[in-house]
Chain A
Amino acid sequence: MTSARTGPPELATGALRSGTGVADLFRASYPGMVRLAGLLGADDPEDIAQEAFARLMQKAPPPDDPAPYLRTIVCNLTRNRHRHLRMARAKQGTAGSLAAQVAVPSSEQTAILREDHAEVIAALATLPPRRREAIVLRYWLDLSEREIAQTMGVPRGTVKSHVSRGLAALARALEVTA
């Protein structure tokens, strides 16, 4: 992969322990967490990011490295939110396009992307949540397999599987739309 690292800035290790770093940490990392939630398909990325930081601020003792903690919380909350929306919509009888409703970016967001980017994002939205997570963590945050495994709480082999199958699914989807 040749693209430059595009994820949020790294969080300062021990920033929370200093007692003075929370606001700085928030300032530096909040936009990245909002974007992570957004890329994972959250319908309200700011709500997810704020909840993640709120939990971080109350975590005792604070984690040595808040970055993995925040990433995990964002992933879990977004996954929960997907499930919530999926089931709520199922109850409302809108079963026909659940996956699309949960994950597809708004037309407004899509419209301001280049066409080829929009195609990728639309295809990404059709992936199962964990494959999407793996792809985003790998290709946006540029995390290693070990870091992704830590964030997702799965073995490294599973990460490898999610990434490869996710890419294959993206390739199939983009071939169809190409």
Chain B
Amino acid sequence: MSGTGTHLDSLSDRVPAALAAHAQTFATSPDAWDRTRARAATIPAGSRRWPRGRHRGLLTRRGQLLMPIAAAAAVVAVVAAATVTVHGLSGTAAPRPGSATKTGATAQPTPDACSTSSGPLADLVSGQSLLSSASLCLKITDGTQRGFTYFQLGSDNPLNWPLYVAAGLQYCTVTVYTSAGSMSPATAETCGPLPRLGAGHLASVTVAQPMTMQAQPSVLAGFAANQATSVSAVLPGGRTYPGAISGGRGLPEKAWAVLAPDVTGARLVFRNAAGQEVASLAAPAQLGIPAVAQPRSGGGMIYSCHSCQVAVNAYPVAGHVGFWVTGEAGYGLISPAAASGEPALAGTWLELGRGPSETVVVGYAPKDATRVAVRLPDGTQYPAPTLPAPWSGSSVRLWVLVVPEYTWGDHLRGSRSLSVIARAYGTSGQIGAGVELGFPNG
């Protein structure tokens, strides 16, 4: 190493030597092979992703191990956990004492309360997931595999741009593999809109699907009238599997969920505090979560990257604004709030998959906004002009910002704030308050 400075030529020798030396410091465990085999045994054969074809409308939110879109929405929501008041719904709901019990079951789907504030789910949530408020959380233990089911109020979190799905109440499942005593990154996470209980209805079931890639157990979930205090799935042979039911701040009705190894012919029985049956429903074999497909018309392209064959299209979606990324990593994000409401400024990071190293932020701004500026934690600002929405009668303008060669570590270093703020400007200055955008994928 020359004393006159560090040069790239010397670095190309120095770096390999340092890497080689450092590599030797990582030891391996003698039981690594056994642990790996045990771990592999917990993975459903084929793929760990939820197959879209099998679960119609049930779309992978994250867990795209080889698909580098990495869920901007999920990351954004993580920031929400850090910067937005957590709603703190009633948390978990254990099966009620005295409720029906599982009898003679051979499978091991054990419904149990789980916490979103501590334990593995909290770890997952704080690190990567979208949860900002949950009313119900169920845990299953099936061998070394554990799964969690939770509800969230997606619409309550302005940073959570739902992936693929409509805004509103969200039903989400997360499957976490916890073999070998350590938690790997989540492998399956799905979310979808959860319709409210219809007028005059005492209970509804809106979700029925395998909890994991394996056929069993199945999870059933939905809403029930507030008078219901317990829920259970009663199989034709009489086996009964208690579930969990809970209300929570912000939830219009009680949310419930049941896990059972086989729901064929099962009935869902809801009881009140006195043990009286208040509702009974046939358990459907499987229900997909309805998803919002990319509209075929009514919008248009707002950004394209010719070298990577990726484009971003914008559409109005039931009063919201949806952005769809085309190409290999195709997916859509829909604004959590209606575009006509407040705030009239919103944005979300997009990951363009195999595209350029740049990160793209898209959003909408008030009709009289001429530009939007995005401020990173270190004070760096990127301006973006607003564009007319590619549909008639729009109450907002759109904006696209390409952040070149995003160096998140550089921007975080020494920063006191973790906020990424977007502000809209018109001819006479700033319009309204700035809004938090959250973080892009790292």
Which residues of A does B touch, CB under 8 Å? 1-3, 6, 23, 26-27, 30-31, 34-35, 37-39, 44-47, 49-51, 53-55, 57-60, 72-73, 76-77, 79-88, 90-93, 95-100, 102-103, 105, 109, 112-114, 116-121, 124, 126-131, 135-136, 139-140, 142, 153-155, 157-158, 161-162, 165, 167-168, 170-171, 174-175, 178
Bound complex: CA of A77 vs CA of B48, how far in Å?
14
| 17 pairs, A vs B, C-beta closer than 8 Å | A1-B16, A23-B33, A35-B24, A35-B26, A38-B25, A50-B180, A60-B45, A87-B82, A87-B439, A95-B416, A99-B409, A121-B19, A127-B409, A128-B408, A130-B357, A170-B11, A175-B5
Majority SS of interface residues in chain B? Answer: loop
Nearest first, the 5 closest Cβ-Cβ pairs linking A and B are: A84-B127, A120-B18, A99-B409, A38-B26, A6-B20
Instruction: Encode B122-135 as 1/0 by CB contact (under 8 A) with A.
Output: 01001110000000
A174 touches B26 (CB 8 A): no
The residue in chain B whose Cβ has the minimal distance to the Cβ of A118 is B18
B45 touches A87 (CB 8 A): no
The residue in chain B whose Cβ has the minimal distance to the Cβ of A99 is B409
Instruction: Tell whether A35 pairs with B23 under 8 Å between CB atoms, given A46-B32, A99-B412.
Output: yes
Could you count the A-B residue pairs with CB atoms below 8 Å apart for me: how many are there? 234
B contact residues, total (Cβ < 8 Å) = 77
B43 close to A (CB within 8 Å): yes
Instruction: Encode B360-392 as 1/0 by CB contact (under 8 A) with A.
Output: 000000000000000000000000000000000
Query: Closest CB-CB distance, B322 to chain A, in whole Å?
Result: 25
Bound complex: CA of A136 vs CA of B265, how far in Å?
56
Query: Closest CB-CB distance, A48 to chain B, in whole Å?
Result: 8
Instruction: Encode B2-21 as 1/0 by CB contact (under 8 A) with A.
Output: 01011110011111111111
Residue in A34, A96, A157, A167 whose CB lies within 8 Å of B414: A96
A165 touches B11 (CB 8 A): no
A99 touches B418 (CB 8 A): no
A117 touches B409 (CB 8 A): no
Q: Which of A59, A88, A96 has most chain B Cβ within 10 Å?
A: A88
**Which residues on B sit within 8 Å (CB–CB) of A81?**
185
Query: Closest CB-CB distance, B38 to chain A, in whole Å?
Result: 9
**Which residues on A sit within 8 Å (CB–CB) of B307?**
155, 157
Query: Closest CB-CB distance, A83 to chain B, in whole Å?
Result: 5
The residue in chain A whose Cβ has the minimal distance to the Cβ of B39 is A54
**Which residues on B sit within 8 Å (CB–CB) of A171?**
6-8, 11
Instruction: Tell whether A162 pairs with B357 under 8 Å between CB atoms, given A30-B32, A55-B48, A167-B11.
Output: yes
The residue in chain A whose Cβ has the minimal distance to the Cβ of B123 is A88
**Which residues on A sit within 8 Å (CB–CB) of B442?**
79, 82-83, 86, 128-129
**Which residues on B sit within 8 Å (CB–CB) of A174?**
6, 11
Bound complex: CA of A88 vs CA of B66, how far in Å?
23
Binds A, one of B73-81, B107-115, B149-157, B202-210: B73-81
Bound complex: CA of A23 vs CA of B34, how far in Å?
10
B28 touches A46 (CB 8 A): yes
Bound complex: CA of A86 vs CA of B75, how far in Å?
11
Query: Closest CB-CB distance, A137 to chain B, in whole Å?
Result: 10
Bound complex: CA of A157 vs CA of B409, how far in Å?
22
B36 touches A54 (CB 8 A): yes
Interface residues of B in 227-279 (CB under 8 A from A): none
B26 touches A139 (CB 8 A): no
B405 touches A165 (CB 8 A): yes
B43 touches A58 (CB 8 A): yes
B141 close to A (CB within 8 Å): no
Instruction: Encode B64-91 as 1/0 by CB contact (under 8 A) with A.
Output: 0110101000010011011000000000
Bound complex: CA of A81 vs CA of B65, how far in Å?
12
The residue in chain A whose Cβ has the minimal distance to the Cβ of B182 is A47
**Which residues on A sit within 8 Å (CB–CB) of B308?**
155
Bound complex: CA of A173 vs CA of B68, how far in Å?
29
B327 close to A (CB within 8 Å): no
B343 close to A (CB within 8 Å): no
Bound complex: CA of A113 vs CA of B20, how far in Å?
10
**Which residues on B sit within 8 Å (CB–CB) of A35?**
23-24, 26
Additional 17 contacts, C-beta under 8 A, given A51-B39, A140-B19: A1-B16, A38-B22, A50-B39, A54-B39, A58-B43, A58-B46, A76-B65, A80-B128, A86-B442, A95-B416, A96-B414, A99-B409, A99-B410, A102-B409, A121-B18, A124-B19, A170-B15
A140 touches B23 (CB 8 A): yes
**Which residues on B sit within 8 Å (CB–CB) of A50?**
32, 35-36, 39, 180
**Which residues on A sit within 8 Å (CB–CB) of B357?**
130, 154, 158, 161-162
**Which residues on A sit within 8 Å (CB–CB) of B127?**
83-85, 87-88
A113 touches B126 (CB 8 A): no
Bound complex: CA of A114 vs CA of B7, how far in Å?
20
Instruction: Tell whether A46 pairs with B29 under 8 Å between CB atoms, given A76-B66, A76-B68.
Output: yes
B16 touches A30 (CB 8 A): no
Bound complex: CA of A93 vs CA of B416, how far in Å?
10
Query: Closest CB-CB distance, A151 to chain B, in whole Å?
Result: 11
